[in-house]
Amino acid sequence: MQNNPLDHAARVLAETDPARRYHAAKAAAEAAAAPYERVADEAVEDLIAQHGGNVAAAARELGLTRQALYMRDKREKTGGGAGAAAAEQVQPARHFNSPQEAEDALRDWALDQQEVTDQLDVLLLGALAAGADPVTISELSGVPLATLRRIRPGGNITVSRLNEYGPEIEDFARAVHARAAALRAAAATKAEHRSASIWQHAARAIVTNVAPYALMPDPGIHVEDFDTAEEFAEALSTREPSEEEKAEDEREPSRLAVLSHDGYLAATYLVFRREAARERLPFEETPEEIAAGEAVQAAFGELADAILHLRTTGQVPPALLEAS
């Protein structure tokens, strides 16, 4: 006897933890969609056959790119479609000591995927703003054209005015660090301590990833003394650090981000904005915990606003300078 889908839906809705409810609902939706995905895959095969094997013609009829339809057809033929079982297990499964450990590993993977998605979102907008061909963007990124049309705003795309090695980044990092220090010194309640902690972690991450020299003594090398940003970066990276800088590196080594400085800030903005809009967490029940949670959300919102101002104007927000 098959399980009643309504009973399964009731169990999903009864899950109290929002994150678990989200993942359970996604898994249930994918399981329910699997039979229809198989029907769709078979329909694609039939349509390609009707066009005499011409994938491009079939793609035009379905309103898809040739690459998207080709990849879907290839996935279906190799057994990679939704709900399809692999013909052969090439490598052993990862070992987990418990179902909970496996779920935790999947959550970590999901968080990593969200970070990649955040980076991709700003990359797609930047490519569209630069005038790159949407079809090429779709083929290189795997993002459907319909999605690109949906994420593109009705007017012009706002492009960052932030200079990669401009002094504004260093000034911004110093201002965030000073603001964090001021909040930490004045904190008295749990809400104030939580807010100060968010600013402190954000300041450390920003300095580490986009302004590793912001809190160091003046190195005597300034961007205005060079013709290009590359020459300035080379001079900074090859200079001999002072004893004070060496001691600071031993306490907390700086590293340059894999992303560009503006790319890092763009992805970080999305993370902060998402945290500012999150739902109340299960443990936030008492008035003290509720106030602390709201303070955390407010801190993320203020940081997101500050990054947005920096990227769209190329200047440190005046309010941040005043508050620090």
Q: What is the average per-residue pLDDT within 164-175?
A: 83
Task: Convert the pLDDT of each residue in 308-324 to its tens digit.
Answer: 999 999 999 998 887 66
Global pTM reads 0.59
What does the pLDDT read at residue 245? 56
| 82 — pLDDT class (breaks 50, 70, 90) | very low
Q: Which helix (H) or strand (E) holds 32?
A: helix 18-50
| 163 — pLDDT class (breaks 50, 70, 90) | confident
Of 86-95, 149-158, 226-235, where does mean pLDDT reach its minimum? 86-95
Measure Cα distances from 159 to 123, 257, 266, 274 in Å: 11, 21, 11, 21
Q: What is the average per-residue pLDDT within 110-114?
A: 83
Measure Cα distances from 54 to 37, 67, 76, 139 in Å: 22, 12, 17, 18
Q: What is the average per-residue pLDDT within 60-64?
A: 76
What does the pLDDT read at residue 84? 46
Which of 133-137, 255-259, 282-286 is modeled with the greatest confidence? 133-137
Task: Convert the pLDDT of each residue in 218-255 to its tens digit.
Answer: 666 776 777 777 777 777 677 766 665 565 555 444 44
What does the pLDDT read at residue 154? 76
Distance CA(170)–CA(157), nearest Å, equals 26
* Vertex 68 angle, CA 270 and 78, to 5°: 110
Q: What is the average per-residue pLDDT within 184-196?
A: 94
Distance CA(277)–CA(226), nearest Å, equals 43
